[in-house]
Amino acid sequence: MSVQRKIIHVDMDAFFASVEQRDQPEYRGKPLIVGGKANSRGVVAACSYEARQFGIHSAMPSSQAYRLCPQAIVVSPRFEAYREVSNQIRTIFWKYASEVEPLSLDEAYLDVTYTAEYDGSATLIAKAIKKDILNETQLIASAGVSYNKFLAKIASDMDKPDGLYVIKPEQGEDFVAALSIGKFHGIGPATETKMKKLGIKTGHDLRQWTLQQLTEKFGKTGNYYFNIARAIDHRPVRSKRTRKSLGKETTFANDIKSKSELLDILEKLAEQVIDNINKQNLKARTLTLKVKYSDFKQVTRAQTSDKVLDLALINTLLPMLLDKTEAGKTPVRLLGVSLSGFENATPDTTKKQLNLNLNE
Protein backbone atom coordinates (compact mmCIF):
# COMPACT_ATOMS: atom_id res chain seq x y z
CA MET A 1 0.00 0.00 0.00
CA SER A 2 1.44 3.37 -1.01
CA VAL A 3 1.97 6.13 1.53
CA GLN A 4 -0.48 9.03 1.28
CA ARG A 5 1.52 12.09 0.30
CA LYS A 6 1.39 15.37 2.24
CA ILE A 7 2.08 18.39 0.06
CA ILE A 8 2.11 22.07 1.05
CA HIS A 9 2.13 24.97 -1.39
CA VAL A 10 3.28 28.22 0.19
CA ASP A 11 2.65 31.50 -1.63
CA MET A 12 3.76 34.84 -0.24
CA ASP A 13 1.00 37.45 -0.29
CA ALA A 14 1.68 40.42 -2.63
CA PHE A 15 5.36 39.63 -2.13
CA PHE A 16 7.23 42.47 -3.84
CA ALA A 17 4.76 45.08 -2.62
CA SER A 18 4.75 43.65 0.91
CA VAL A 19 8.54 43.86 1.11
CA GLU A 20 8.36 47.51 0.06
CA GLN A 21 5.65 48.28 2.64
CA ARG A 22 7.66 46.50 5.32
CA ASP A 23 10.81 48.48 4.54
CA GLN A 24 9.08 51.83 3.94
CA PRO A 25 6.48 52.48 6.68
CA GLU A 26 5.06 55.45 4.76
CA TYR A 27 3.82 53.02 2.08
CA ARG A 28 1.72 50.97 4.49
CA GLY A 29 -2.03 51.09 4.04
CA LYS A 30 -1.67 52.85 0.69
CA PRO A 31 -2.08 51.64 -2.91
CA LEU A 32 1.41 50.65 -4.02
CA ILE A 33 2.63 49.50 -7.43
CA VAL A 34 5.97 47.83 -8.03
CA GLY A 35 6.96 48.11 -11.68
CA GLY A 36 7.27 50.51 -14.58
CA LYS A 37 6.66 54.19 -13.98
CA ALA A 38 3.24 55.63 -14.78
CA ASN A 39 4.51 57.50 -17.84
CA SER A 40 6.34 54.46 -19.25
CA ARG A 41 5.35 51.46 -21.34
CA GLY A 42 6.28 49.01 -18.62
CA VAL A 43 4.03 46.71 -16.64
CA VAL A 44 2.96 46.15 -13.05
CA ALA A 45 5.23 43.52 -11.47
CA ALA A 46 3.24 43.46 -8.23
CA CYS A 47 0.81 45.60 -6.29
CA SER A 48 -0.45 45.89 -2.74
CA TYR A 49 -3.89 44.73 -1.69
CA GLU A 50 -4.88 48.39 -1.36
CA ALA A 51 -4.07 48.84 -5.07
CA ARG A 52 -5.99 45.71 -6.00
CA GLN A 53 -9.15 47.32 -4.70
CA PHE A 54 -8.93 49.66 -7.69
CA GLY A 55 -8.76 46.76 -10.14
CA ILE A 56 -4.99 46.81 -10.55
CA HIS A 57 -3.22 43.49 -11.03
CA SER A 58 0.19 42.17 -12.03
CA ALA A 59 1.15 42.26 -15.73
CA MET A 60 -1.22 45.20 -16.30
CA PRO A 61 0.29 48.06 -18.35
CA SER A 62 1.58 50.73 -15.96
CA SER A 63 -0.30 53.46 -17.80
CA GLN A 64 -3.60 51.63 -17.29
CA ALA A 65 -2.86 51.07 -13.61
CA TYR A 66 -2.18 54.78 -13.15
CA ARG A 67 -5.50 55.66 -14.79
CA LEU A 68 -7.31 53.33 -12.39
CA CYS A 69 -5.55 54.80 -9.37
CA PRO A 70 -3.74 58.12 -10.01
CA GLN A 71 -2.83 58.41 -6.33
CA ALA A 72 -0.96 55.10 -6.29
CA ILE A 73 2.66 55.08 -5.17
CA VAL A 74 4.88 53.63 -7.91
CA VAL A 75 8.30 52.20 -7.05
CA SER A 76 10.93 50.38 -9.07
CA PRO A 77 11.58 46.76 -8.11
CA ARG A 78 14.49 45.89 -5.82
CA PHE A 79 15.21 42.33 -6.88
CA GLU A 80 18.21 41.92 -4.60
CA ALA A 81 16.03 42.70 -1.60
CA TYR A 82 13.40 40.23 -2.78
CA ARG A 83 16.02 37.52 -3.33
CA GLU A 84 17.37 38.06 0.17
CA VAL A 85 13.92 37.57 1.70
CA SER A 86 13.28 34.61 -0.60
CA ASN A 87 16.43 32.91 0.71
CA GLN A 88 15.25 33.47 4.28
CA ILE A 89 11.92 31.85 3.45
CA ARG A 90 13.51 28.86 1.71
CA THR A 91 15.69 28.25 4.76
CA ILE A 92 12.48 27.98 6.78
CA PHE A 93 11.02 25.54 4.26
CA TRP A 94 13.99 23.21 4.62
CA LYS A 95 13.47 23.05 8.38
CA TYR A 96 10.29 21.10 7.77
CA ALA A 97 10.33 19.51 4.31
CA SER A 98 12.29 16.65 2.76
CA GLU A 99 11.84 18.19 -0.69
CA VAL A 100 11.38 21.87 -1.63
CA GLU A 101 10.51 22.90 -5.18
CA PRO A 102 10.65 26.68 -5.67
CA LEU A 103 8.43 27.99 -8.45
CA SER A 104 9.60 31.58 -8.13
CA LEU A 105 10.98 33.90 -5.47
CA ASP A 106 7.68 33.90 -3.60
CA GLU A 107 6.21 30.41 -3.86
CA ALA A 108 7.21 26.78 -3.51
CA TYR A 109 5.95 23.24 -3.12
CA LEU A 110 7.00 21.33 0.00
CA ASP A 111 6.81 17.57 0.54
CA VAL A 112 6.27 16.90 4.25
CA THR A 113 5.13 13.29 3.88
CA TYR A 114 7.90 12.02 6.17
CA THR A 115 8.23 15.04 8.46
CA ALA A 116 8.03 13.99 12.10
CA GLU A 117 7.39 17.40 13.67
CA TYR A 118 3.88 18.10 14.94
CA ASP A 119 3.12 14.37 14.84
CA GLY A 120 3.36 14.51 11.07
CA SER A 121 0.34 16.82 10.72
CA ALA A 122 0.74 18.74 7.46
CA THR A 123 -1.78 21.32 8.65
CA LEU A 124 0.18 22.05 11.84
CA ILE A 125 3.42 22.12 9.87
CA ALA A 126 1.91 24.70 7.50
CA LYS A 127 0.83 26.80 10.49
CA ALA A 128 4.35 26.63 11.90
CA ILE A 129 5.87 27.66 8.57
CA LYS A 130 3.53 30.65 8.32
CA LYS A 131 4.40 31.66 11.88
CA ASP A 132 8.15 31.35 11.27
CA ILE A 133 7.90 33.43 8.09
CA LEU A 134 6.01 36.15 9.94
CA ASN A 135 8.44 36.17 12.87
CA GLU A 136 11.58 36.19 10.72
CA THR A 137 10.52 38.43 7.82
CA GLN A 138 7.46 40.34 9.12
CA LEU A 139 5.61 39.15 6.00
CA ILE A 140 2.51 37.03 5.62
CA ALA A 141 2.08 33.92 3.51
CA SER A 142 -0.81 31.74 2.44
CA ALA A 143 -0.56 27.96 2.42
CA GLY A 144 -2.48 25.18 0.77
CA VAL A 145 -2.33 21.64 2.13
CA SER A 146 -3.36 18.54 0.24
CA TYR A 147 -2.23 15.17 -1.08
CA ASN A 148 -0.93 16.37 -4.46
CA LYS A 149 0.58 19.46 -6.06
CA PHE A 150 -2.46 20.40 -8.14
CA LEU A 151 -4.78 20.61 -5.14
CA ALA A 152 -2.20 22.18 -2.82
CA LYS A 153 -1.61 25.05 -5.24
CA ILE A 154 -5.32 25.73 -5.67
CA ALA A 155 -5.81 25.52 -1.91
CA SER A 156 -3.18 28.20 -1.24
CA ASP A 157 -5.24 30.66 -3.26
CA MET A 158 -8.58 29.92 -1.60
CA ASP A 159 -8.29 32.10 1.50
CA LYS A 160 -5.82 34.90 0.72
CA PRO A 161 -4.30 36.86 2.33
CA ASP A 162 -2.83 35.04 5.33
CA GLY A 163 -4.78 31.93 4.42
CA LEU A 164 -4.49 28.27 5.30
CA TYR A 165 -6.74 25.93 3.35
CA VAL A 166 -6.76 22.15 3.56
CA ILE A 167 -8.16 19.67 1.03
CA LYS A 168 -8.22 16.17 2.50
CA PRO A 169 -8.04 13.00 0.37
CA GLU A 170 -11.70 12.23 0.92
CA GLN A 171 -12.63 15.76 -0.21
CA GLY A 172 -10.55 15.95 -3.38
CA GLU A 173 -12.96 14.70 -6.02
CA ASP A 174 -15.95 16.66 -4.70
CA PHE A 175 -13.83 19.80 -4.38
CA VAL A 176 -12.65 19.56 -7.98
CA ALA A 177 -16.15 18.76 -9.26
CA ALA A 178 -17.51 22.03 -7.86
CA LEU A 179 -14.51 24.12 -8.93
CA SER A 180 -14.86 26.63 -11.76
CA ILE A 181 -12.64 25.79 -14.73
CA GLY A 182 -11.03 29.23 -14.44
CA LYS A 183 -9.66 28.25 -11.02
CA PHE A 184 -7.80 25.21 -12.37
CA HIS A 185 -4.02 25.62 -12.31
CA GLY A 186 -2.80 24.86 -15.82
CA ILE A 187 -5.91 26.15 -17.58
CA GLY A 188 -5.28 29.66 -18.88
CA PRO A 189 -7.77 32.21 -20.22
CA ALA A 190 -7.63 30.95 -23.81
CA THR A 191 -8.23 27.32 -22.83
CA GLU A 192 -10.92 28.39 -20.37
CA THR A 193 -12.77 30.19 -23.18
CA LYS A 194 -12.44 27.16 -25.45
CA MET A 195 -13.72 24.83 -22.74
CA LYS A 196 -16.69 27.03 -21.92
CA LYS A 197 -17.68 27.02 -25.59
CA LEU A 198 -17.69 23.23 -25.31
CA GLY A 199 -19.94 23.40 -22.25
CA ILE A 200 -17.15 22.74 -19.76
CA LYS A 201 -17.60 25.21 -16.91
CA THR A 202 -16.71 23.15 -13.83
CA GLY A 203 -14.64 20.17 -12.83
CA HIS A 204 -17.80 18.08 -12.96
CA ASP A 205 -18.32 19.07 -16.59
CA LEU A 206 -14.71 18.24 -17.42
CA ARG A 207 -15.05 14.83 -15.79
CA GLN A 208 -17.78 13.86 -18.25
CA TRP A 209 -15.28 13.86 -21.12
CA THR A 210 -13.37 10.70 -21.95
CA LEU A 211 -9.61 10.63 -22.28
CA GLN A 212 -9.94 10.13 -26.03
CA GLN A 213 -12.27 13.12 -26.39
CA LEU A 214 -9.95 15.38 -24.39
CA THR A 215 -6.82 14.39 -26.31
CA GLU A 216 -8.65 14.92 -29.59
CA LYS A 217 -9.61 18.45 -28.53
CA PHE A 218 -6.55 19.49 -26.54
CA GLY A 219 -3.71 17.24 -27.70
CA LYS A 220 -1.36 15.67 -25.18
CA THR A 221 -2.50 18.15 -22.51
CA GLY A 222 -5.84 16.34 -22.60
CA ASN A 223 -4.29 13.61 -20.45
CA TYR A 224 -3.48 16.19 -17.78
CA TYR A 225 -7.03 17.55 -17.88
CA PHE A 226 -8.45 14.04 -17.61
CA ASN A 227 -6.45 13.40 -14.44
CA ILE A 228 -6.97 16.70 -12.65
CA ALA A 229 -10.72 16.47 -13.25
CA ARG A 230 -10.47 13.40 -11.01
CA ALA A 231 -8.15 15.12 -8.51
CA ILE A 232 -5.24 12.96 -9.71
CA ASP A 233 -1.72 14.40 -9.88
CA HIS A 234 1.27 12.11 -9.40
CA ARG A 235 3.95 14.73 -10.06
CA PRO A 236 6.64 14.58 -7.37
CA VAL A 237 8.01 17.60 -5.55
CA ARG A 238 11.44 18.10 -7.11
CA SER A 239 14.15 20.01 -5.29
CA LYS A 240 16.13 20.76 -8.44
CA ARG A 241 14.33 22.34 -11.34
CA THR A 242 16.14 22.43 -14.67
CA ARG A 243 15.72 25.62 -16.61
CA LYS A 244 13.62 24.93 -19.69
CA SER A 245 14.37 28.16 -21.52
CA LEU A 246 16.45 31.28 -21.29
CA GLY A 247 15.67 34.53 -23.01
CA LYS A 248 15.75 38.27 -23.23
CA GLU A 249 13.00 40.67 -24.24
CA THR A 250 12.49 44.41 -24.43
CA THR A 251 9.51 46.76 -24.54
CA PHE A 252 9.90 49.82 -26.77
CA ALA A 253 9.19 53.40 -25.70
CA ASN A 254 7.39 53.81 -29.04
CA ASP A 255 5.90 51.19 -31.34
CA ILE A 256 8.23 50.13 -34.16
CA LYS A 257 7.06 49.24 -37.67
CA SER A 258 10.38 49.18 -39.54
CA LYS A 259 11.44 45.58 -40.10
CA SER A 260 15.11 46.52 -40.47
CA GLU A 261 15.02 48.31 -37.13
CA LEU A 262 13.37 45.28 -35.53
CA LEU A 263 16.06 43.00 -36.96
CA ASP A 264 18.79 45.22 -35.51
CA ILE A 265 17.17 44.92 -32.10
CA LEU A 266 16.82 41.15 -32.47
CA GLU A 267 20.54 40.83 -33.21
CA LYS A 268 21.36 42.69 -29.98
CA LEU A 269 18.96 40.50 -27.99
CA ALA A 270 20.48 37.38 -29.55
CA GLU A 271 23.98 38.49 -28.53
CA GLN A 272 22.84 38.90 -24.93
CA VAL A 273 21.11 35.51 -24.84
CA ILE A 274 24.07 33.68 -26.39
CA ASP A 275 26.43 35.38 -23.95
CA ASN A 276 24.22 34.25 -21.09
CA ILE A 277 23.99 30.60 -22.11
CA ASN A 278 27.73 30.47 -22.80
CA LYS A 279 28.40 31.67 -19.26
CA GLN A 280 26.17 28.87 -17.97
CA ASN A 281 27.75 26.22 -20.19
CA LEU A 282 24.49 25.48 -22.00
CA LYS A 283 23.82 24.34 -25.54
CA ALA A 284 20.42 24.94 -27.13
CA ARG A 285 18.68 23.65 -30.24
CA THR A 286 15.37 25.56 -30.25
CA LEU A 287 15.00 29.27 -30.99
CA THR A 288 11.78 31.11 -30.15
CA LEU A 289 10.81 34.60 -31.28
CA LYS A 290 8.20 36.52 -29.29
CA VAL A 291 6.37 39.48 -30.82
CA LYS A 292 3.80 41.66 -29.08
CA TYR A 293 1.92 44.11 -31.29
CA SER A 294 0.64 47.57 -30.41
CA ASP A 295 -2.79 46.09 -29.61
CA PHE A 296 -1.14 43.74 -27.06
CA LYS A 297 -1.78 40.67 -29.21
CA GLN A 298 1.16 38.33 -28.77
CA VAL A 299 2.56 35.61 -31.04
CA THR A 300 5.54 33.26 -30.88
CA ARG A 301 7.40 31.54 -33.68
CA ALA A 302 9.91 28.76 -33.06
CA GLN A 303 12.49 26.78 -35.01
CA THR A 304 14.37 23.68 -33.84
CA SER A 305 17.75 22.97 -35.39
CA ASP A 306 19.61 19.68 -35.75
CA LYS A 307 22.72 21.68 -34.88
CA VAL A 308 23.57 23.44 -31.64
CA LEU A 309 22.57 27.09 -32.01
CA ASP A 310 25.31 29.69 -32.20
CA LEU A 311 25.02 33.42 -32.86
CA ALA A 312 25.51 33.08 -36.62
CA LEU A 313 22.80 30.44 -36.95
CA ILE A 314 20.42 32.41 -34.73
CA ASN A 315 20.90 35.53 -36.83
CA THR A 316 20.12 33.46 -39.92
CA LEU A 317 16.92 32.05 -38.41
CA LEU A 318 15.54 35.21 -36.80
CA PRO A 319 14.65 37.01 -40.07
CA MET A 320 12.85 33.86 -41.23
CA LEU A 321 10.84 33.72 -38.01
CA LEU A 322 10.10 37.45 -38.16
CA ASP A 323 8.75 37.00 -41.70
CA LYS A 324 6.18 34.60 -40.24
CA THR A 325 4.66 37.43 -38.17
CA GLU A 326 2.87 40.69 -38.98
CA ALA A 327 5.99 42.68 -38.09
CA GLY A 328 6.63 45.29 -40.75
CA LYS A 329 2.90 45.64 -41.34
CA THR A 330 1.64 45.98 -37.77
CA PRO A 331 3.46 48.16 -35.20
CA VAL A 332 5.39 46.17 -32.59
CA ARG A 333 5.73 47.13 -28.91
CA LEU A 334 7.83 44.19 -27.64
CA LEU A 335 10.37 41.72 -29.01
CA GLY A 336 11.81 38.69 -27.27
CA VAL A 337 14.34 36.00 -28.11
CA SER A 338 14.65 32.77 -26.13
CA LEU A 339 16.52 29.49 -26.43
CA SER A 340 15.45 26.07 -25.18
CA GLY A 341 16.09 22.39 -25.76
CA PHE A 342 19.21 22.56 -23.62
CA GLU A 343 22.02 20.05 -23.37
CA ASN A 344 24.67 19.80 -20.65
CA ALA A 345 22.70 21.80 -18.08
CA THR A 346 24.73 22.76 -15.03
CA PRO A 347 23.42 23.29 -11.47
CA ASP A 348 23.28 27.07 -11.77
CA THR A 349 20.58 26.70 -14.43
CA THR A 350 18.02 26.11 -11.70
CA LYS A 351 17.68 29.82 -11.00
CA LYS A 352 14.43 31.14 -12.37
CA GLN A 353 14.75 33.96 -14.87
CA LEU A 354 13.40 37.33 -13.77
CA ASN A 355 12.32 38.59 -17.16
CA LEU A 356 9.88 41.35 -16.36
CA ASN A 357 9.39 44.32 -18.66
CA LEU A 358 9.76 47.20 -16.25
CA ASN A 359 11.12 49.90 -18.53
CA GLU A 360 11.08 53.27 -16.88
- Domain spanning 245-344: CATH 3.40.50.10540: no
Alpha-carbon distance 298 to 248, whole Å? Answer: 16
Active site residue 107: yes
Alpha-carbon distance 246 to 352, whole Å? Answer: 9
Q: What is the CATH number of domain 172-228?
A: 1.10.150.20
Statement: residue 129 has pLDDT above 50: yes
Q: Say if strands 141-146 and 107-111 run parallel, antiparallel, or are unpaired.
A: unpaired
Burial class (CB in 10 A: 0-12, 13-18, 19+), 279: exposed
Alpha-carbon distance 186 to 150, whole Å? Answer: 9
Q: Among residues 20, 50, 99, 107, which one is catalytic?
A: 107
Q: Kindly list the distances between the CA atom of residue 241 and the CA atoms of 108, 290, 340, in Å, as whole numbers in the listed order.
A: 11, 24, 14
Statement: residue 349 has pLDDT above 60: no
pLDDT of amino acid 276: 82
Statement: residue 322 has pLDDT above 50: yes
Of all residues in the chain, what percent carry a pLDDT higher than 70? 93
pLDDT of amino acid 343: 73
* Mean pLDDT value of segment 327-350: 77
Single pTM value for the model: 0.72
Give me the residue spans of the domains in the chain: 1-148, 172-228, 245-344
Statement: residue 39 has pLDDT above 80: no
pLDDT of amino acid 347: 39
pLDDT tens digits, residue range 190-213? 999 999 999 999 999 999 999 999
pLDDT tens digits, residue range 207-240? 999 999 999 999 999 999 999 999 999 999 998 7
Query: Of residues 41 and 334, which shows the higher confidence score?
Result: 334
Of all residues in the chain, what percent carry a pLDDT higher than 90? 79
Cβ atoms < 10 Å from Cβ of 360: 12
Homologous superfamily, domain 1-148? Reverse transcriptase/Diguanylate cyclase domain (3.30.70.270)
